[in-house]
Amino acid sequence: MDKNILIVIGVVVVVTAGIVGAVLLTNQNNIKPTPAPQGIVLFYSPDCPHCKVVEDFISQNNIDQKVKYTRLEVPFGTKTSPELQANAELAIKEAQACKIDISQGLSIPFLWDGKNCYIGEVDVINFFKA
């Protein structure tokens, strides 16, 4: 009798594992990459001092209420993740479209308006002023 109970438990475990595995695979195949943002994109890091200057300007001048844009965090220092890495790859792609030399890396804050690139706090702030 104990042998039959062990067999039933084993079958239940195997079937449950199969169902869980199938659900996980189905959900994984349904994951769609986040589409690239359209329009103005500000690449920044909360740990970047130049980005902080831009963030302060945006806050003090209510830029969020005047200009529609997307903020994307990128790796800075040792902080990284797959999401931040994907954002960095997008920033690099846009910088290359502007023919910016990225052989030494890409400075932030970095703003892409859909056509043009703006690098550094002065250029980004001047963009928002205009």
115: which DSSP letter? S
CA triple 59-61-63, angle to 5 deg:
75
Q: Is the pLDDT of residue 59 over 50?
A: yes
pLDDT tens-digit map of 65-124: 999 999 999 998 888 899 999 999 999 999 999 999 999 889 999 999 999 999 999 999
Q: Are 124 and 69 in contact (CB under 8 A)?
A: no
Q: Tokens 């830029």 — which residue? A: 63
Q: Are 74 and 42 in contact (CB under 8 A)?
A: no
What predicted TM-score, i.e. pTM, was given to this entire model? 0.71
Q: CA-CA distances (angstroms) from residue 123 to 54, 84, 128? A: 10, 23, 9
Q: Tokens 């200009």 — which residue? A: 67
pLDDT for position 1: 54
Closest CA to 52 of 65, 39, 42, 41: 42
